[in-house]
A = this chain, B = another copy of it.
Amino acid sequence: MVGSGTDKTKLLLTGGPTIILVRPQLAVNIGMAARAMANFGLSDLRLVAPRGDLARDDARAAAAGALHVFEGAKLYATLREAVADLGFVWATTARERGQGKRVEAPATALAETAARIAQGEAHGILFGPERTGLDNDEIATADAIITFPVNPAYASLNLAQAVLLAGYEWFRAAHGDAPAFAMVERSPPAPRDMVLSFFDYLEGALESSGFFRPEGKQAVMRRNLRNIFHRVGLTEQDVRTLRGAVVRLVEGPRTAPQTRRRQRPKKETPPEIEADD
């Protein structure tokens, strides 16, 4: 079932590694974990002996519409049953647990999992109870360990936030993190002759205004000024806007009756720059 937080007009990503919450204590964390999974296109949630009441309203509210994950969660009595069909299992833990297992950062681990899921493998990630984390027998069930990079003095990561970070790294590895939208150019980049013509006009006006003092510094002052504008990456519209601004500074306010465009006396002077909504 697809919940109210889901936009049915867009592609609903599913798949990815199975998320297994082992003995979660608070139902609200299960809801938040479901939401975090949905954010990053994960869909297979498994719960091993959850203690919280999944029917609680606040758990459902915490899922915030990610009901395809929350209501689709599968319940297991034991961890062994929950991982039975998986080919590779990560355990998440904040402390060294002395089990001689490989330990990876989330970015490394999920990149590996994304590559192997693409080859048809079934991977899962274990998350332990809120207070205690996974016990040693539970960690022994896993092939390798993921540990989250955190502030050493403040390392307690909320259960749903740990799921979020795993989901985020899954998404980056499987789908990339290129922004879904790019800078909108309202106008094409200004051709160089348009930019140079603006510089000529600006520098002529500044010259007349006595800006370039002392004389010996004029070349470097022109260069510095040009470089300020080059850093903008000017569009055609940007150049028209700036030129219009300088014209007004030089000429002062227009007086409506004495407009230069006498051939169209009824019409207001057109704006020198396009309206910016």
Q: Which residues on A are within 8 Å of B, measured CB to CB?
A: 5-13, 32, 35-36, 38-41, 64-66, 95-96, 98-108, 145, 147, 149-158, 161, 164-165, 168, 171-172, 175-186, 235, 277
Complex contact B12–A153 (CB within 8 A): yes
Question: Which one of B6, B101, B154, B178 lies within 8 Å of A154 (CB-CB)?
Answer: B6
Tell me the minimal C-beta distance from A16 to chain B in angstroms. 10
Report Cα–Cα, A150/B6, bound state, in Å.
12
Tell me the minimal C-beta distance from A159 to chain B in angstroms. 12
Q: Given A105-B178, A181-B95, A185-B100, are A64 and B150 also a contact pair (CB < 8 Å)? A: no
Q: Given A149-B172, A165-B164, are A179 and B104 also a contact pair (CB < 8 Å)? A: yes
Complex contact B164–A149 (CB within 8 A): no
Tell me the minimal C-beta distance from A236 to chain B in angstroms. 13
Complex contact B103–A155 (CB within 8 A): no
Q: Which residues of B contact A186 (CB under 8 A)?
A: 98, 100
Q: Given A107-B172, A154-B5, A165-B164, are A147 and B181 also a contact pair (CB < 8 Å)? A: yes
Q: Given A161-B164, A165-B164, are A100 and B155 also a contact pair (CB < 8 Å)? A: no
Complex contact B147–A180 (CB within 8 A): yes
Complex contact B40–A151 (CB within 8 A): yes
Question: Which one of B5, B9, B98, B106 lies within 8 Å of A177 (CB-CB)?
Answer: B106
